[in-house]
């Protein structure tokens, strides 16, 4: 149970039912990542939260699940290939932690599919590409020196890197 003392719904606009965004490419960043157990408990998946940062659908969130620890070798291979695509799209080829991939703009390729259980339409991320095709990918070990120069302490701002 959680106390809601002080909340007044009369002063807050209600949330709208979010329709899927149209098929297309969107500039997004990973804002959160977490390893979670699979429903069966036999493995773990990496859940990545992408936030669109430009255009009409800015601030919309999409989630990607990568079965990196699973008894099904095919599922693991698919997840590793998708993680490779994400790493290449954000320019970090050898991350040491999923947070190394956060706040780095890339293009996500969004599709719309129908859920098999409810028939409702939903978005699915089906691909990734570099936002700036001329940028050179970097290793995570190189990031420590480059991110120190752009940290909030040295830049004087708490704005995410894509907004500086």
Q: Return the higher-pLDDT residue of 79 and 163.
A: 79
Top pLDDT among 13 and 163 is at 13
User: Percentage of the chain surpassing pLDDT 70?
Assistant: 80
Backbone angles phi, psi at 100, to 5 degrees: -65, -20
Are the CB atoms for 34 and 46 separated by under 8 Å?
yes
Mean pLDDT computed over 92-110 = 97
pLDDT at 81 over 70: yes
What mean pLDDT, rounded, does the chain reach? 86
> What average pLDDT score do residues 87-109 get?
97
Name which CATH class applies to 18-132.
Answer: mainly beta
pTM, to two decimals: 0.75
Domain spans in the chain, listed from the N-terminal domain onward:
18-132
**For 76-91, what is the mean pLDDT?**
97
Closest CA to 127 of 62, 60, 32: 62
List pLDDT tens digits, range 137-163.
555 555 544 444 444 444 455 666 555
What is residue 107's predicted lDDT score, i.e. its pLDDT? 97
């Amino acid at each position: 149970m959680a106390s809601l003392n002080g909340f007044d719904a009369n002063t807050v606009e209600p949330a709208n039912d979010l329709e899927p965004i149209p098929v297309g490419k969107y500039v997004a960043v990973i804002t959160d990542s977490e390893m979670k157990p699979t429903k069966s408990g036999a493995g773990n998946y990496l859940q990545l939260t992408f936030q669109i940062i430009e255009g009409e659908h800015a601030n919309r969130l999409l989630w990607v699940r990568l079965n990196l620890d699973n008894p099904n070798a095919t599922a693991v291979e698919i997840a590793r290939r998708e993680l490779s695509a994400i790493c290449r799209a954000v320019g970090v080829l050898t991350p040491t932690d999923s947070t190394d991939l956060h706040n780095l703009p890339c293009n996500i390729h969004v599709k719309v599919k129908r859920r098999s259980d409810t028939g409702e339409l939903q978005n699915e991320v089906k691909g990734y590409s570099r936002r700036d095709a001329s940028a050179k990918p970097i290793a995570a070990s190189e990031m420590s020196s480059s991110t120190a120069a752009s940290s909030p302490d040295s830049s004087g701002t708490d704005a995410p890197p894509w907004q500086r």
